[in-house]
Chains A and B, each alone.
Chain A
Amino acid sequence: EAQVTQNPRYLITVTGKKLTVTCSQNMNHEYMSWYRQDPGLGLRQIYYSMNVEVTDKGDVPEGYKVSRKEKRNFPLILESPSPNQTSLYFCASSTGTAFLHFGDGTRLSIL
């Protein structure tokens, strides 16, 4: 089954404790992207990757890092999480930029 898998689905953590949200897709897609969703703001793009070893900033990259060492994986790293990064995060992949397949989301709460 074609899917984008995110882990964890839910996480409550504390300020400053490094965390990684993993994202894996099994569709051999070149394009992958991370979004955060906040009430009233819609989805905002954090980082995206056009292919292995190619990543670029989206609209809200501050406080986040990504890597794309393999085609299927695109982890999102929060080196020093802060409360303003509490949000619902989505990973997505596609052969282009628009026919996005989304993961089920990761709800992060940073205290």
Chain B
Amino acid sequence: SQELEQSPQSLIVQEGKNLTINCTSSKTLYGLYWYKQKYGEGLIFLMMLQKGGEEKSHEKITAKLDEKKQQSSLHITASQPSHAGIYLCGAEFMTTDSWGKLQFGAGTQVVVTP
């Protein structure tokens, strides 16, 4: 979706290093959702952010939503091989014609090397 831009498109990180993925919206978000996908498989829900300035953590993954609710970041600390995969952000927008429509960014492929 051009309304939701993810960066980088891919990244390679050495095991134990940190990484950050960004998701930027051209419109104000009602909610921002992070999913992880292993190649060719279905998506697994990671986290949901709805309030401006909100931050959530689960194990070594932290997601933040900015105050304006247009940008989110996903940060992984001390990456492990299990963190490899494709990370996608999904969003619901604050517009009346967006109800029921969850749009996704193009995804960020993460490779973790030994």
Contacts and interface: CB of A to CB of B under 8 A. Distances in A.
Interface of A: 4, 31, 33, 35, 40-45, 48, 50, 56, 58-59, 88, 90, 92, 97-105, 107
Given A33-B102, A98-B102, A100-B102, A44 B41 contact: no
Contacts of B6: 42
Given A42-B88, A98-B92, A100-B102, 16 more contacts: A4-B42, A42-B106, A42-B107, A43-B43, A43-B90, A59-B103, A88-B40, A98-B31, A98-B33, A99-B48, A100-B43, A102-B44, A104-B41, A104-B42, A105-B42, A107-B40
Nearest to B9: A40
Contacts of A41: 106
Interface size grouping (class) on chain B = 20 to 34
Contacts of B42: 4, 90, 92, 102-105
Contacts of A35: 104
Contacts, number: 66
23 contacts: A33-B102, A40-B9, A42-B1, A42-B4, A42-B6, A42-B88, A42-B104, A42-B105, A43-B88, A43-B90, A44-B104, A50-B100, A59-B1, A97-B99, A97-B100, A97-B101, A97-B102, A98-B31, A98-B92, A99-B48, A100-B45, A102-B42, A102-B44
The binding surface of chain A is classed by DSSP as: strand
A31 to B, nearest CB: 7
Interface of B: 1, 4, 6, 9, 31, 33, 35, 40-45, 48, 88, 90, 92, 99-107
In the complex, which of the residues B4, B6, B102, B104 has the most CB atoms of chain A within 10 Å of its own CB atom?
A: B102
A101 B44 CA distance: 7
A31 B103 CA distance: 15
Contacts of B88: 42-43
A50 B101 CA distance: 10
A56 B41 CA distance: 25
Contacts of A33: 102
